[in-house]
Chains A and B, each alone.
Chain A
Amino acid sequence: MFSFHSQRVRVGGSGSRRLLWASVLLVTLTAALAGQPAGSEWKAVRFEPRGISLAGPDLSQHYLVLGVDQLGNEADVTHLCRIISSHPRIVTVDTDNSVVTGKSSGRAEIRLTLGDVHDSVEVAVGEGRSEMAVNFSSDVVSILTTKGCNGSGCHGSPAGQNGFKLSLFGYDIGADHQMIIHGHDGRRVDLEHPEQSLLLRKPTFQVAHGGGRLFDVDSEEYETISSWLQSGAPLDGSGVRLEKLELYPAERILAGLGAGQRLAAMGRLSDGTTRDMTREVRYLSADEAVATVSPEGTIASSGRGLTTITARAMGKVATSQIGVIDKLAGDNFPSLERNNFIDDLVFAKLRKMNVRPAPLSSDEEFLRRVYLDAIGWLPTPREVSEFVNDTQPGKRARLIDRLLERPEHASHWTVRFEDWLRNCQLHMQGRSMGVFKDWIREWLRTDRPYDAFVRSLLTSLGDTMRNPAANFWNPSADFMSKQFSVTKATPTVSRLFLGIRLECAECHNHPLENFTQDDFYGLAAFLARLRVKHGTGAYRRTWYLEESGEVEHPQTKRPVAPKLPADATPEIPEEVDRRQILAEWVVSPSNPYFARATVNRFWYQYFGAGIVEPYDDLRSTNLPTNRALLDRLAQFFVESGFRLKALHRLILNSRTYQASSTVAGRDRKPSPLERVLFARYPPQRLPAETLLDAVGQVTGVPHRFKGYPQGTSAKDIYIPDIPDYFLVTFGLPRRDILKGRAETPTLSQSLHLMNGDSLREKVEASDNVLGELLEQGASDSEIVSEIYLRAYSRQPKPTELETITEFLSAEQAGGRDHRRGLENFLWAVLNSKEFQLNH
């Protein structure tokens, strides 16, 4: 320990020697916890939070300091750096407890030094009374939150607890005040004799309390509630409100088990001051298997992965993203060739989290993958050999350009859009489904801008047979009454184009979110006047606008004016279709949600995981695994003029997309972070339509759909009256209900592949691939090669050829004729994972 004496530094002004000793001791601990090699050089140092503005003397704020070393790794250096105050009479620094405290009004600079790097921040101290009045929202509800009183397992549950009901985590301050003061005839408070109030006697267990003893009579909590009651228990008449909650550090990577990080929380109040909320918020870790958080805000790592710590108080929420890894990346971390900015941002994150990226895919691997993803078909054996034998540079980029121009690209992605927009039979009674499908496909084929696409949908009116875009509203017709349902349409619009799930807000404010019931009905008001008429035979529908009509707020029972989520209330002239205002706002480049929601949705399609997961839930507590990537992709999409093909081209050309799906060393335990940080291409199931088309390609016998000409692609059929068993079994969704495409394997799938007629008929057809090759007099090894090229886009390895040859001989020995043996080989290929997955 004595060896650290040399690190003693002189702290100007207020720093006492005793404190300094304590920090020296902490230096060693912190260094050990951070996994930071002693003596490493620092590149930057940063004090957080910034913009501290204490209301008055005697108020404090917790802080922390992060350092960045030469390799780009971050460490908690709160106790490693020198910190001084420029004016100790105004602000003092307590390095032992990491708090700054106001002493008198004025401004002081906090200066810190770590090795050769420096940082400084200004701290303001106001003249505020040292005894601030207790506020209901900021003080009392804060206690109810930190003590768990308004949690979902207690009084915050929808039914309350023993007649005492609070809003979940205090999102509805007014209702909570009402309940406390007036609920049960006001028996919970006694303003004459505050100490007799049940609000104090219950949590101190002076009377029996199901929740037990939460604090003592001589505690700070008791004092706070008691003085609030003495002051007449007001609902913050003139008090300041919490406007924003901030949590520090916003992002942090911990190396090793048991590594820690102290959090600091700061509130920004309506009077412009800040308040230390570090001990006043309720912390929660989204995944305790990754990291836990104590009630005081100390994080401890518990396993590899990524988690979000949320802090809440008074209806506000803030997050910190915590990654836990075994150890930080050293200087031997591989540097990779990049193709475009996606790679820069993905690799930077991988490096930071010390996750090794997979090597580049082989030509065959890439070829099969990009065909399946871009056009939904396997490459033909000829396309395989042409590509593999092409020696010109840039062949991958040229192939991508060609694929994006093929009509199959539009057909393939049209099916995705049909899922998203829920182009379905039940609500549409059949006929206009095809009209809508054709319209979407043509839009994608010609790559008209996506913002215009969305604008067309949102402002569409008229006969669904004549104006295809109007079919967008069909799933918003009520199941039974067949009338337009604004409460069905609102969350659909919000989820599809903003990535915001507003469903919950139909009935209640979300406890963790900034979107409220007012936002739901404000958005609904844009759609209030939409109506539908049904034609004869129920085949046709006509969407039109009423001249008047408003939505009613379920609580106030008053009509709600159109209001954009988390935005201003626009001025709308009476004669204007409100939906136009909505559409313009949705697709506006300044709308932070639209482009992000769109690029995340497409990213999900390619990588099986969104940068935010679930991909259509971009609420503020649901953090992207790579924020810089999401932001930059969104910016790119806006700058491209909302061209989807530009987005496809960018993703397909990235080294990230072209990474191998194979794990480098067989023994290496794959990190759970590989998938969410996009270190390699994840094997994915083929969509039902693509799988069925691929079976047709390999066997040479396209699937036959009732009522369609031979050779029609599964992607191009309109959903028939009796859906195809294969497609339904492999996940074709029922689009009339909110039920996404099934992504889990099922027993019926396995059975159908093993025994079902969809495969069997094609394997046994006399004029299939086997029949053709046998007629040409192909040898077994030629047949095996051809099937391998068709199904796997590669030649068989010698060992595989040997296995198959042995199998074919054994089949003959078992009394099966030559062709039957080959059929069984073909069956095995079609059942194999290498065929059924895109990888």
Chain B
Amino acid sequence: MRIGTGDLPGCSRRDFLKIGGLAFAGLNLPKLLAASGGASERSCIVIFQNGGASQFETFDPKPDAPSGIRGPFNPIPTAVPGIHISELLPRTAKRMNRFALIRSMNSDEAIHERARQYIFSGTRPRNETLHPSYGAVVAREWSPKNGLPPFVAIPTTDLAAEAGFLGPTYDPFVAGDPNTEKFSVKDLTLPTGISLAEAGARTRLLSALDREFAKVEKSPLIDSMDEFHQKAFDLISSPRAKKAFAISEEPEKLRETYGRTAVGQSALLARRLIEAGVRLATVFHGGYDSHVKNQERHGKLVPEFDQAFAALLDDLDERGLLATTLVLVIGDFGRTPKINSQGGRDHWPRAFSVALAGAGIQGGAVVGSTDDQASDPKDRPVKIEDLGATVYRALGIDYRKNYHFGGRPIAINKEGHPVDELWS
């Protein structure tokens, strides 16, 4: 860890000065982190806008642009004077003081697969070697809590969320769609008609059979099979784990507040899971790839997101979880300023917005801006690598740490610098 360069993970320049002073009082960095909630007490919810949401129809409206660019929706004021976002986000607007925006995200990856891997890991995909996603790194760096899988994807997963070279141990656990009538997580509950007592009995028989086989060396492979078997059994038998996924236990009213949509119920499940001990939950909200009928798509999807995101911020805040939970809203990329002949917007990585809340991020902050057609950053361009460093700093993970793969060291995040303004 390099100290004094300002990129000390989880620690701004100002913190660094504070530590310098506190060091004399016997409070070192780990203690300081512990005092502020501690890195290992952090968690994260990622809402991933599959396909890439339009910056115009979300967080960076351009009312003064020509009609072929600005689109049909108008900006509305937010809780923070001077900041305007799309009218498709009325509830979010009222909570502007709780989250921050980076409007000057700047990338050059316009291919879905690559762009998604890039922004979900903070590292540009190279040589077909898949870099671990934020969730996989969290799963690798933090031990699981309360017998729950550390990294959960709702309702489905995506290649971009995978653990890549860290191996499938750190891939997300897939929860399924909580917005279905009889939602149950795949393989998490015992088959119908099998009681826990029966499962316990047959598991004891299994242990007896395995004992006979134990003459074979205790290899890491066998240890790890045992470990996962135990974890699986804990997960099935632990009422706490079962409860974590039991979205039906949420009050009807709250479920309505999040919205009876895939993203609404997924966000609610994410909150339940984080509360129960999951470290990173990601919600995939799909279909933003509006090459045709941009107005219709965003007109449907953004309000769904608006309701879910606003409810999530309120809910986390009320439960005192927002201080330790980073909420991140990202997507593949932005969309073209010019609306095409089919009323769609195409891929646009050069300028787009992301939203961040919680875990110490300053609400109401807006970093960077774009030109009057939202086609390029006007100031403070932020690279994907910088976003990655920002995420890891908020989570208190040493992002310059190296993993080893294929005989070479690969840093969690090699060259990004956190966006300091989000903490000021």
A612 to B168 Cα, complex, angstroms: 24
A488 to B127 Cα, complex, angstroms: 8
- A829, B130: Cβ atoms closer than 8 Å: no
A825 to B236 Cα, complex, angstroms: 19
B5 to chain A, nearest CB (A): 12
- A800, B212: Cβ atoms closer than 8 Å: yes
- Interface assignment of A750: CB less than 8 Å from any CB of chain B: yes
**Interface-located stretch among A259-267, A334-342, A735-743:** A735-743
Q: Which residues of the partner chain A approach B229 to less than 8 Å between Cβ atoms?
A: 750, 754, 831
Chain B, residues 126-145, CB within 8 Å of chain A (1/0): the string is: 01111000000000000000
Q: Which residues of the partner chain B approach A734 to less than 8 Å between Cβ atoms?
A: 159
- A663-B217, A833-B225 are contacts. A814–B189 as well, Cβ < 8 Å? no
- A828, B205: Cβ atoms closer than 8 Å: yes
- A751, B235: Cβ atoms closer than 8 Å: yes
Q: Which residues of the partner chain B approach A748 to less than 8 Å between Cβ atoms?
A: 171, 173-174, 187
Q: Which residues of the partner chain B approach A682 to less than 8 Å between Cβ atoms?
A: 219
- A800, B209: Cβ atoms closer than 8 Å: yes
A734 to B162 Cα, complex, angstroms: 12
- A744, B169: Cβ atoms closer than 8 Å: yes
A755 to B169 Cα, complex, angstroms: 19
Residues 340 to 381 of chain B near chain A (Cβ within 8 Å): none
Q: Which residues of the partner chain B approach A836 to less than 8 Å between Cβ atoms?
A: 225
Q: Which residues of the partner chain A approach B206 to less than 8 Å between Cβ atoms?
A: 827-828, 831-832
- Interface assignment of B197: CB less than 8 Å from any CB of chain A: yes
- Interface assignment of A661: CB less than 8 Å from any CB of chain B: yes
- A663-B215, A739-B130, A814-B197 are contacts. A747–B149 as well, Cβ < 8 Å? yes
**Interface-located stretch among A112-120, A711-719, A804-812:** A804-812
Chain A, residues 468-493, CB within 8 Å of chain B (1/0): the string is: 00000000000110000000100100
- A617, B235: Cβ atoms closer than 8 Å: no
Q: Which residues of the partner chain B approach A833 to less than 8 Å between Cβ atoms?
A: 210, 213, 216, 222, 225
Chain A, residues 436-480, CB within 8 Å of chain B (1/0): the string is: 000000000000000000000000000000000000000000011
Q: Which of A666, A749, A754 has the most CB of B within 10 A?
A: A754
- A804, B222: Cβ atoms closer than 8 Å: no
- Interface assignment of B111: CB less than 8 Å from any CB of chain A: yes
Of the A-B pairs whose beta carbons lie under 8 Å apart in the complex, a sample of 13, sorted by A's number, is A488-B128, A501-B407, A737-B159, A738-B129, A744-B167, A748-B187, A756-B187, A797-B212, A800-B209, A824-B202, A833-B210, A833-B222, A837-B221
Chain B, residues 386-412, CB within 8 Å of chain A (1/0): the string is: 000000000000000000001111000
- A663, B168: Cβ atoms closer than 8 Å: no
Q: Which residues of the partner chain B approach A13 to less than 8 Å between Cβ atoms?
A: none
- Interface assignment of A504: CB less than 8 Å from any CB of chain B: yes
- Interface assignment of A803: CB less than 8 Å from any CB of chain B: yes
- B221, A745: Cβ atoms closer than 8 Å: yes
- A749-B228, A824-B198, A825-B205 are contacts. A683–B189 as well, Cβ < 8 Å? no
- B224, A745: Cβ atoms closer than 8 Å: yes
Q: Which residues of the partner chain B approach A824 to less than 8 Å between Cβ atoms?
A: 198, 201-202, 205
- Interface assignment of B191: CB less than 8 Å from any CB of chain A: yes
Residues 749 to 796 of chain A near chain B (Cβ within 8 Å): 749-752, 754-757, 760
- A747-B235, A832-B210 are contacts. A501–B216 as well, Cβ < 8 Å? no
Q: Which of A748, A811, A829 has the most CB of B within 10 A?
A: A748
- Interface assignment of A383: CB less than 8 Å from any CB of chain B: no
- A617-B407, A742-B168, A797-B212 are contacts. A750–B228 as well, Cβ < 8 Å? yes
Closest to A663 in B: B217
- Interface assignment of B240: CB less than 8 Å from any CB of chain A: no
Residues 586 to 634 of chain A near chain B (Cβ within 8 Å): 614, 617, 622
- B209, A828: Cβ atoms closer than 8 Å: yes
- Chain B interface extent, by class: 35 or more
Chain A, residues 494-526, CB within 8 Å of chain B (1/0): the string is: 000000010110100000000000000000000
- A754, B225: Cβ atoms closer than 8 Å: no
- B228, A747: Cβ atoms closer than 8 Å: yes
- A755-B189, A833-B222 are contacts. A807–B406 as well, Cβ < 8 Å? no
Partner of A683, one of B174, B205, B216: B216
Q: Which residues of the partner chain B approach A829 to less than 8 Å between Cβ atoms?
A: 209
A377 to B343 Cα, complex, angstroms: 56
- A834, B213: Cβ atoms closer than 8 Å: yes
A99 to chain B, nearest CB (A): 35
Give 7 closest A-B pairs by Cβ, nearest first.
Answer: A750-B232, A751-B187, A824-B202, A828-B206, A738-B128, A750-B228, A834-B213
Q: Which residues of the partner chain A approach B22 to less than 8 Å between Cβ atoms?
A: none
Partner of B236, one of A749, A751, A807: A751
- Interface assignment of A731: CB less than 8 Å from any CB of chain B: yes
- Interface assignment of B108: CB less than 8 Å from any CB of chain A: no
- Interface assignment of A8: CB less than 8 Å from any CB of chain B: no
- Interface assignment of B293: CB less than 8 Å from any CB of chain A: no
- B205, A480: Cβ atoms closer than 8 Å: no
- B198, A814: Cβ atoms closer than 8 Å: yes
Closest to B162 in A: A739
- B111, A832: Cβ atoms closer than 8 Å: no
Closest to B215 in A: A662
A760 to B192 Cα, complex, angstroms: 10
Closest to A752 in B: B187
- Interface assignment of B158: CB less than 8 Å from any CB of chain A: no
- Interface assignment of A670: CB less than 8 Å from any CB of chain B: yes
- A747, B209: Cβ atoms closer than 8 Å: no
- B232, A751: Cβ atoms closer than 8 Å: yes
Residues 374 to 432 of chain A near chain B (Cβ within 8 Å): none
